[in-house]
């Protein structure tokens, strides 16, 4: 190890607080299987994949009993960052702060798993393309019907995000149309870059901040005060991570589109009664929207306002929700783990008898659609924006 200060040493105090109780992964005392909460443990089977196991590794690092190597990197990066462990930690320890510190040290030592390293690289990866799909910048707004909202001055920015812009363009369009229908004066940036969230999953917070500052500078020029997202990862980057990493809160308010629409609904400014579909649906809480940011009820309020829709909850919902396998950029190097988590979640959704599985995140929806196809499940997978866009009717023209 170089003489550079290590990130892990800065979080020593949290590491020493772990009492090794195992609540972060073993809920058998509640009559639940011990692998029901942590997708990494469910896949990896060894305790070193769990919260407590990682705390053991972290403790050995700060006590000088071990050092970083490729095997340890495997344990740290095989994690969906779902925060199931933090949610159930007996001492409310922020487990993911420990994982982030270990990732930062591993990135400095060039010990990233190979596919993730390539995806984030400055040559042929995120650093070059400014998105994780290697899409051309000029294609970023290819989904737009017209450019009337692009780069215009407005207090509200729709931050599209890489997944909507390049891989789930119908979601970009649905969100755009929802904002138009809601009568919001908003702008879209032609020079939008990735929010920086993938760099955090890869232990590169400085690069994440550089990307966030690119957006904030462009937003300031347009007079933006509020940013709306359909991707919880993008929202978290600006709502929470920017302030945590820089010590300064981002100079904009950040809202997920479901929050914005639920607020309009509560104020009587929206109705959703266009098609009256009559369907049983179930809702998958995206880990970042739910456990990371505490947004559980806004999507449910929207769904309950659609006539004919009945919401059936999965056994694991809200703070107990189970990751679909899309988080932590694990698909790059741990595809089997992502597939297992996705299959588990689709099976759970199918078990409710619902006809439609909904979520509020483009990455979750993409992952759940792939898992549904593999399982050949008789279940439609949609984002909530898609369903709401079909239903919404503005009260004001």
Among 8, 38, 200, 358, binds ligand SF4 (CB under 6 A): 38
Pairing status of strand 270-272 against strand 309-311: unpaired
Q: Is 81 in the site for ligand SF4 (CB under 6 A)?
A: yes
Which tokens hold the place of 133? 């799909």
Contact between 218 and 191 under an 8 Å Cβ cutoff? The reply is: yes
Which tokens hold the place of 231? 């991707």
Gap between the Cα atoms of 155 and 187, Å rounded: 8
Contact between 311 and 282 under an 8 Å Cβ cutoff? The reply is: yes
CB of 220 to ligand SF4, least distance (A): 34
Nearest of 345, 213, 237, 356 to residue 288 by alpha carbon: 237
CB of 52 to ligand SF4, least distance (A): 4
Q: Is 11 in the site for ligand SF4 (CB under 6 A)?
A: no
> Which residues between 44 and 63 bind ligand SF4 (CB under 6 A)?
50-52, 55
Beta carbons within 10 angstroms of residue 47's beta carbon? 17
Q: Which residue in this structure is represented by tokens 């692998």?
A: 35
Among 27, 93, 295, 306, binds ligand SF4 (CB under 6 A): 93
Residue 121 phi/psi, 5-degree rounding, is -65, 160
Q: Is 73 in the site for ligand SF4 (CB under 6 A)?
A: no
Q: Is 291 in the site for ligand SF4 (CB under 6 A)?
A: no
Among 48, 95, 282, 369, binds ligand SF4 (CB under 6 A): 95
With CB under 6 A as the rule, give the number of residues binding ligand SF4. 27
Closer Cβ to ligand SF4, 95 or 369, answer by number: 95
Candidate ranges 18-26, 136-144, 172-180, 361-369; the one touching ligand SF4 (CB under 6 A): 18-26
Gap between the Cα atoms of 36 and 25, Å rounded: 8
Gap between the Cα atoms of 255 and 240, Å rounded: 12
Closer Cβ to ligand SF4, 273 or 336, answer by number: 336
Q: Hey, which residues does 117 pair with through a beta bridge? A: none
Closer Cβ to ligand SF4, 160 or 330, answer by number: 330
Q: Which residue in this structure is represented by tokens 């001055």?
A: 153
Count CA atoms within 13 Å of residue 111 on its CB side.
Answer: 19
Closer Cβ to ligand SF4, 80 or 164, answer by number: 80
Q: Is 84 in the site for ligand SF4 (CB under 6 A)?
A: yes
Q: Is 21 in the site for ligand SF4 (CB under 6 A)?
A: yes
Candidate ranges 69-77, 78-86, 117-125, 136-144; the one touching ligand SF4 (CB under 6 A): 78-86
Residue 256 phi/psi, 5-degree rounding, is -75, 150
Closer Cβ to ligand SF4, 46 or 90, answer by number: 90
Binding positions for ligand SF4, rule: CB under 6 A: 18-24, 37-40, 50-52, 55, 79-85, 89-91, 93, 95
């Amino acid at each position: 190890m170089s003489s550079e200060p290590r990130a892990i040493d800065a979080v020593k105090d949290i590491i020493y607080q772990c009492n090794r109780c195992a609540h972060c992964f073993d809920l058998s005392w509640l009559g639940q299987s011990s692998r029901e909460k942590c997708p990494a443990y469910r896949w990896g089977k060894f305790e070193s994949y769990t919260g407590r196991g990682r705390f053991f590794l972290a403790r050995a690092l700060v006590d000088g009993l071990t050092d970083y190597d490729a095997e340890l990197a495997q344990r740290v990066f095989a994690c969906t960052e779902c925060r199931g462990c933090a949610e159930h930690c007996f001492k409310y320890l922020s487990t993911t702060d420990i994982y982030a510190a270990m990732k930062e040290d591993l990135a400095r030592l060039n010990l990233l798993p190979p596919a993730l390293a390539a995806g984030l690289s400055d040559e042929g990866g995120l650093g070059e393309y400014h998105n994780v799909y290697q899409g051309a910048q000029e294609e970023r707004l290819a989904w737009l019907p017209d450019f009337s909202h692009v780069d215009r001055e407005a207090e509200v920015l729709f931050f599209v995000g890489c997944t909507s812009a390049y891989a789930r363009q119908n979601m970009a369009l649905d969100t755009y149309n929802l904002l138009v229908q809601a009568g919001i004066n908003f702008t879209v940036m032609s020079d939008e870059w990735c929010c920086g969230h993938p760099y955090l999953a890869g232990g590169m917070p400085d690069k994440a901040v550089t990307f966030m500052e690119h957006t904030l500078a462009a937003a300031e020029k347009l007079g933006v005060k509020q940013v709306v997202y359909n991707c919880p990862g993008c929202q978290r980057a600006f709502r929470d991570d920017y302030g945590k990493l820089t010590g300064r809160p981002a100079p904009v308010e950040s809202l997920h589109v479901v929050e914005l629409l639920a607020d309009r609904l509560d104020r009587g400014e929206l109705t959703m009664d266009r098609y009256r579909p009559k369907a049983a649906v179930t809702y998958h809480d995206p880990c970042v929207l739910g456990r990371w940011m505490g947004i559980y009820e806004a999507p449910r309020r929207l769904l309950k306002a659609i006539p004919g829709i009945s919401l059936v909850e999965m056994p694991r919902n809200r703070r107990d929700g189970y990751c679909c396998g899309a988080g932590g950029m694990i698909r790059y190097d741990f595809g089997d783990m992502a597939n297992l988590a996705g299959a588990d979640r689709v099976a759970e959704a199918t078990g409710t008898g619902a006809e439609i599985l909904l979520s509020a995140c483009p990455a979750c929806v993409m992952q759940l659609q792939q898992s549904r196809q593999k399982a050949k499940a008789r279940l439609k997978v949609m984002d909530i924006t898609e369903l709401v866009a079909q239903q919404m009717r503005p009260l004001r023209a």
